[in-house]
Amino acid sequence: MQLGKRLAKVLKPGDIVLLKGDLGAGKTTLVKGIAQAWKVPAEKVHSPTFVLMNYYPARIPVYHFDFYRLNAPDEIAAIGYEEFLYGRGVSLIEWPEKFGGLSPEEYILVEFCHVNESQRECRISAKGKDYSARLAKLQK
């Protein structure tokens, strides 16, 4: 939650954040932290595994995607995801490895690893000049 709140400070409309990690690694919890930083109650944020995308109206709208149940990039293309990317909101995408060749060219990547039952390690990287500069700001 705290990492999500910190990350929210450097995000802006049109940003894409890819969330990669095993089931239960903390991807949706990070989304809750980002949304909470923008005044969306954490209890309103749920994994969109069965609906594929949840929308949370906020200061910066949140588009929370979960591609877990999709099997191929053409299934992702069929849901019209690109309508939401690069727009007035922030797109937070769980299971981005399902993108295949549809993966965006620039993004922030948050990778989650289980350390033990109650601890996770997160690695944050950026692809794209603007994202890299903002992550450097976050590290300060």
pLDDT in tens, 38-93: 999 888 898 877 778 889 999 899 999 888 877 777 777 777 777 778 778 999 99
Secondary structure, 3-state, the chain: CHHHHHHHCCCCCCCEEEEECCCCCCHHHHHHHHHHHCCCCHHHCCCCCCCCEEEECCCCCEEEEECCCCCCHHHHHHCCHHHCCCCCCEEEEECHHHHHHHCCCCEEEEEEEEEECCEEEEEEEEECHHHHHHHHHHHC
The confidence band for 135, taking pLDDT boundaries of 50, 70 and 90, is confident
Instruction: Tell me the pairing of strands 53-56 and 119-127.
Output: unpaired
What is the mean predicted confidence (pLDDT) over 8-32?
Answer: 91
Confidence band for 24, pLDDT divided at 50, 70 and 90? confident
The percent of residues above 70 in pLDDT, for the chain, comes to: 99
Closest C-alpha among 29, 37, 83 to residue 58: 37
pTM: 0.89
CB atoms within 10 A of CB 79: 14
Q: Domains of the chain, with CATH numbers?
A: 2-139 (3.40.50.300)
Bridge-based pairing of strands 62-66 and 53-56 is antiparallel
Calpha distance 75→53 (Å, rounded): 13
